Structure 1
Amino acid sequence: MLQSSRVGMAQPISKRPDMTNRKTLLLFVLAAPFLGAGPAAALECDVDTAAAFDLPGVTVTAAVPAEDGAAACLVSGTVITQGGDAPDGAARFEIRLPEAWNGRFAMLGNGGLAGRVRASANHADIAYANATGYVTAMTDLGHEAESSVDARFALLPDGTPDDAAIADYYHRATHVVTQTAKAMATAAYGHAPQRSYLTGCSTGGRMAQVAATRYPDDFDGVISGTPFMDISSMLKIQHFQINQLLSPDAQILPEKLPAIQAAVMQACDGIDGTVDGLVQMPAACSFAPETMICPGADDAACISAAQAKALRAYFTALHTDDGQLVFPGYAPVLFDDGFSNFQGGKEPAADVTAAEPWGNDGFAPAPIEWSFSDHIIQYLVKHDPSFNVRDLGISPDGTVPRPVVEEFIARTAAGNGSDLAATQAFLDAGKKMILYHGWGDHALSPFRTTRFVDDLARREGGMQALSAKARLFMVPDMGHCRGGTGPDAFNTLAALEAWVEQGIAPDALAAEKLDDSGAVTRSMPLCPYPARAEYSGTGDVTQAANWSCTANTALLQMGSVGISAGLLTGGEPTQ
């Protein structure tokens, strides 16, 4: 759920110069011709010119040349947000107007609880949009904050809910800034965008799914990466946190992670038929934390009984106390990258019994997911900054009282993007959806995304029927949106563009792992779920040429991890 670098800054993209300028970008540029370039040479990049567009409710505050991609002007400002059964609010934006417009628009999703004009979208998508002449837009989702885990925007100074800011974060700002960007493009080039897309990851993935279900006419297709689709995922996060804070020896700290990672790889790496350092089938894994309990003195090679219990809780689904699935457990992947940052923490809690175990009002040094869930529960659900999340009644064994879930959903449903019926309606209108999620994500469970697609496929009459409208790509050993040891550089925007505009469905995504210099260290195809990449049995396992996508029923087999994660629980989650 962390936010990535703003589009207008060249450095984050230039560090990965070949990410989209390889075969994949070239093929898609040749396959998908421009829809129609605008007369950009006449566009002056200054505030007066941008302000002269005279768009209702818009105040332009800056206009500067872009520092990356094709020549473009970055227009910044604010827009009044209206509608959505909420008072008027305001959202900041940055809109990129290229000199040579290709006739397309892309909204770039934000991350976390937003608060700054930044994009969480796939870096390859951003680079592709900038290089090929998209108009793009970003927003702060209607409030200002220095931290992406700060939910204080949700309450007014008198302690009552700020309904305008909440509506903007949940759904409204995305819609209004989308309309503003389209209007600005029309004013600048003389015609409206001919195709519109949204690409985002984490909260940006939620933005994609909320746009599809609440404002289906805004986009021709959306990319939902690592989606924060259900805000009630915060309850599952607290289920794990309760367990790792049961006692001082229960917290899973960095010194234990190498041993946990080694045990996981021993149990899970080869299940897909190839020992290659990647876990492609975590649901079929039967990793048992209890086998790591120290038989004698504590050391880095083993874990305490309390830590084993906490780790077991991490993989275990959260249910209501009458048995309905609330949220799946996590996958046992990539403990050596991301777990401490998001879940376990980098240092011991100062007081495991305190309402804020790490102090500092729930901010760092608390792990990100403690901060994120703590603030959402306090400010967006309970409307009480002093509320102790332990008082929700979540049990260590993985149940939560149904009234707690019902209250949570009532307060946050407007921000959810997991409405299956509304998603179907979007897809039935001829729109397309690409989803992706890293198996090594420690912020949001990848099993929630596979469960969403499974439930959607069941409604559609099977995965084959769904694949004509939506496809999910699971990424081995990728962390939250990016990072990890797996191939995390791939272009979903070009794939969506080709699918919407030419009817070319993505049978695979070419994915690469790049080092800090931009050199490719690994490549492989990402396959449409439930297919997976299969090694040919010969050649270098780090080369895509030795892998192919194959139909995969084995992925649907369950080991103890998949069973504990709730993947066999009947019915749809309580969202």
Structure 2
Amino acid sequence: MKYLFPAMALAMAASVPQQGQAQQSPEQCRALRSTVMDAASVTSARVMPALDTLPSYCEVRVTARPAISIEVRLPMEGWNGKYYQAGCGGFCGILGRADAGGGWVNAMRPGLERGYATATSDSGHHGLSVTEATWAMGNPDAERDWGWRSIGETHRVAQALIGAFYDGASEQAVFQGCSTGGRMAHMAAQRYPDLFDGIIAGAPAMDYTGLVGTAMSWVVQANTAEDGSQILGPHEAKLIGDEVMSQCDGADGKADGLIADPRACEIDLAPLTCEAEDKDSCLDEQELATLTKWREGPRNAAGDQLYPGGIPEGSEPYWWLWLTGNDKGAGKLVPAFAKSFGSYMAFPTDPGPEWTPADFDFETDPARLETMAEVYNADSPDLSAFRNAGGKMIVWHGWADSIVTPYKTVKWYEDAARISGGEDGLKDTVALFMVPGLDHCGILPGTDGLSAASLDPMSPLERWMTDGTRPTSIMAPE
């Protein structure tokens, strides 16, 4: 795929850039402030010095109407002639949040380090945190931009600036994201199949109405007692996690502190059942009922499964951040996401701040989510347009993810293979990697420090796009 900058950009020659292009001047960077684009305006352009592993680059900030804040980073020298776009996490709203840290997930860092021109956006709004969604109240433009439009607009703006800065067009494009960024990656493949040659989708929250609307409301309701108190907390999570590991660690033939596939181990809860007076070492009937609901996933009164799977065995060490909180009051992000989404994003008419996950009706509300599903969701297994364009896609997910269930990703892959005529029909387009013991997006370190830093999907994707070598691993070299 070749990407030509828009006709409304500054008129530039269409010569193909050469890898390792000569150094650009600070004046050329500052001149980008005058770049003209349809429905977008440059707000700043400045040279950023080289720091640590990052080269010097021209940082350009752009607002694409109505309110998408975009940052483009253009290497001052050694541009490889390619483009790298990063997604964002949660409800986004914080421009370049991922690049404020040292990691690579949802960050421009991996592309910039390799000489790519890079870009990201806040997805179309400003938020105080990634769990805050008040911006969506009665704001369909912002919901649309978060849902899908910011992906295409970021690409369009970046290509215009690449054309103006390097006097040419990028010859290849990559998208990388995890969680909501993973949803954006799937959206890119489905709605913009010609824009990206390679896509990296991590722990994709591809079905927001099903996941955050239905499944997370189920999780919150199941863990709330009649008096409003929390049923399972960090202490119970430790008891459950220890018992799960003692029963399942060796199910894959290795005792290594990792559960290779939680579907392969049946847990006997009898050892956790309270029979003695020592309540601190066991689970009572109410706690066991919550655990059962968490494992099964959401169902209606007839017993119909409303969302694939539930919270996987082996994820318990990470529950404090996502589900239960800890004894210091930190974590418990799932209830925060569920409340914000239901209050401001999930329904055609927003119920507002008085709504809570306790109000979700599993008999009637799943159908009410269908309108916004058209805006947010990217879980179609039909990748035919992306496949026909020659795209390559790496999908990765941790088996110990307790916020975005890995079972949904497995089901999506199986469905995609089925409509492609089997895995052989899909293998030239998608490579799926399920990582034992890995937290959501590898945020919290696990056994032996396993985290996002242990992964490198970019190198195998580059090889796949360059010489057709299909990836066999995404683990970073030791």
- Give 1:340 deviation, angstroms: 1.3
Q: 1:93 aligns with which of 49, 70, 82?
A: 70
Q: Aligned partner of 1:469: which letter?
A: T
> Do residues 391 (structure 1) and 391 (structure 2) align?
no
- Give 1:345 deviation, angstroms: 2.4
- Give 1:476 deviation, angstroms: 1.1
1:64 equivalent in structure 2: 47
Structure with the larger strand share:
1
- Give 1:450 deviation, angstroms: 0.9
Preserved contact between residue 317 and residue 329 of structure 1 (Cα < 8 Å): yes
- Give 1:128 deviation, angstroms: 3.6
User: Aligned residue pairs: how many?
Assistant: 444
- The change in CA–CA distance for 1:279 and 1:74 in structure 2 (over 3 A counts) is farther
The two structures have a TM-score, normalised by structure 1, of: 0.73
2:291 equivalent in structure 1: 311
In the aligned structure 1, how far is the partner of 2:436 from the partner of 2:164? 44
Q: Aligned partner of 2:48: which letter?
A: P
Q: What is the SS of the residue equivalent to 1:193?
A: coil
Preserved contact between residue 269 and residue 275 of structure 1 (Cα < 8 Å): yes
Q: What is the SS of the residue equivalent to 2:445?
A: coil
> Do residues 51 (structure 1) and 9 (structure 2) align?
no
> Do residues 184 (structure 1) and 145 (structure 2) align?
no
Residue deviations 1:204-242 (CA, integer Å, cap 9, x gap):
101100111111121112111000100120211111211
Preserved contact between residue 179 and residue 202 of structure 2 (Cα < 8 Å): yes
In the aligned structure 2, how far is the partner of 1:191 from the partner of 1:167? 31
Preserved contact between residue 119 and residue 154 of structure 2 (Cα < 8 Å): yes
1:456 equivalent in structure 2: 416
- Give 1:185 deviation, angstroms: 0.8
Q: Aligned partner of 1:466: which letter?
A: L
Q: 2:333 aligns with which of 368, 393, 396?
A: 368
Preserved contact between residue 289 and residue 311 of structure 1 (Cα < 8 Å): no
Residue deviations 1:93-115 (CA, integer Å, cap 9, x gap):
21111121001111011000001
Name the % identity.
27
2:125 equivalent in structure 1: 143
1:491 equivalent in structure 2: 456
In the aligned structure 1, how far is the partner of 2:46 from the partner of 2:148? 26
2:4 equivalent in structure 1: none
Residue deviations 1:6-61 (CA, integer Å, cap 9, x gap):
xxxxxxxxxxxxxxxxxxxxxxxxxxxx9833645233178732213333422222
1:11-22 equivalences under 5 Å are none
> Do residues 332 (structure 1) and 313 (structure 2) align?
yes
Q: 1:276 aligns with which of 251, 256, 259?
A: 256
- The change in CA–CA distance for 1:244 and 1:289 in structure 2 (over 3 A counts) is farther
Q: What is the SS of the residue equivalent to 2:397?
A: strand
Residue deviations 1:58-106 (CA, integer Å, cap 9, x gap):
222242315343423242423223xxxxxxx121121111121001111
1:117-266 equivalences under 5 Å are 117-118=95-96, 123=104, 126-155=108-137, 161-231=138-208, 232-234=210-212, 235-247=214-226, 251-266=231-246
Q: What is the SS of the residue equivalent to 1:510?
A: coil
In the aligned structure 1, how far is the partner of 2:401 from the partner of 2:301? 27
Q: Aligned partner of 2:113: which letter?
A: A
- The change in CA–CA distance for 1:240 and 1:288 in structure 2 (over 3 A counts) is farther
Q: Aligned partner of 1:105: which letter?
A: Y
Preserved contact between residue 199 and residue 224 of structure 1 (Cα < 8 Å): yes
Q: Aligned partner of 2:297: which letter?
A: A
- The change in CA–CA distance for 1:308 and 1:325 in structure 2 (over 3 A counts) is same
Q: Aligned partner of 1:140: which letter?
A: D
The two structures have a TM-score, normalised by structure 2, of: 0.87
- Give 1:143 deviation, angstroms: 0.5
Gaps of 5+ in 2: 1-15
In the aligned structure 1, how far is the partner of 2:357 from the partner of 2:322? 18
Q: Aligned partner of 2:86: which letter?
A: L
Q: What is the SS of the residue equivalent to 1:381?
A: coil
In the aligned structure 1, how far is the partner of 2:330 from the partner of 2:437? 26
Q: What is the SS of the residue equivalent to 1:242?
A: helix
- The change in CA–CA distance for 1:191 and 1:320 in structure 2 (over 3 A counts) is farther
